[in-house]
Amino acid sequence: MLKRDKMRRLGEGILEIRDHGKPLPHRKDGGKSTKPITPCPDVLEAEVLKAVMTWLKRNRILCDRNNVGSGDLDNRGAIHSYGIKYGGDIMGCLPDGIHFEVECKRGRGGVLSVGQQKRRDLIRKNHGIYLVIHGVPELELMMKGLL
């Protein structure tokens, strides 16, 4: 492991202790466990996604769903991919022009894959906002300072 990777993990551990009171466990596959920072109802990811989209649109924030996959889209036998791989479930632009992405996880928590972690770091490095959300209460808390 490179020194910069060790320092990044140390920084993430400090943020985890600040937000959750203890570091979250790391997985063998490199995925990172996520937990809500405020109490959220334990619902499936699809329900969290639907509620977050509704909240964003109700608050007049420009956003779109990012669907990712591949398949024979034109019935010619060729496989085509669509969407932005490892991108957040929701992408948009805040009123001040800042790009944001929201990755939705189920209410009790989930796992951020290595690809999603790299995407998160890239977005943040370029002054965008990348949120991992487990429910509308958490979204409202995080968006309070952004709107």
Residue-level pLDDT at 25:
64
Q: Token digits for 146?
A: 């952004």
The pLDDT value recorded for residue 30 is: 82
Write down the pLDDT at residue 26.
65
Q: Identify whether the C-beta of residue 38 lies closer than 8 Å to the C-beta of residue 133.
A: no
Nearest to 138 by CA among 109, 114, 100, 96: 109
Beta carbons of 37 and 132 less than 8 angstroms apart: no
Residue 17 is predicted with a pLDDT of 75
Q: For residues 21-54, b (16+ Cβ closer than 10 Å) or e, as one string?
A: eeebeeeeeebbbbebbeebeeeeeeebbebbbe
| DSSP secondary structure, 81-103, as one string | EES-TT--SEEEE-TTS-EEEEE
- Residue 69: per-residue pLDDT: 86
Average pLDDT per consecutive 10 residues, the chain (147 residues; last block may be shorter): 68 72 70 88 94 96 91 85 90 94 93 93 95 95 83
Domains of the chain, by residue range, sit at 31-143
Give the Cα separation of 61 and 93 in Å (integer): 7
pLDDT (0 to 100) of residue 1: 55
Tell me, which fold does domain 31-143 have in CATH?
Answer: Trna Endonuclease; Chain: A, domain 1 (3.40.1350)
How far is it, in rounded angstroms, from Cα 80 to Cα 83? 10
Look at residue 5 in the predicted model and tell me its pLDDT: 67
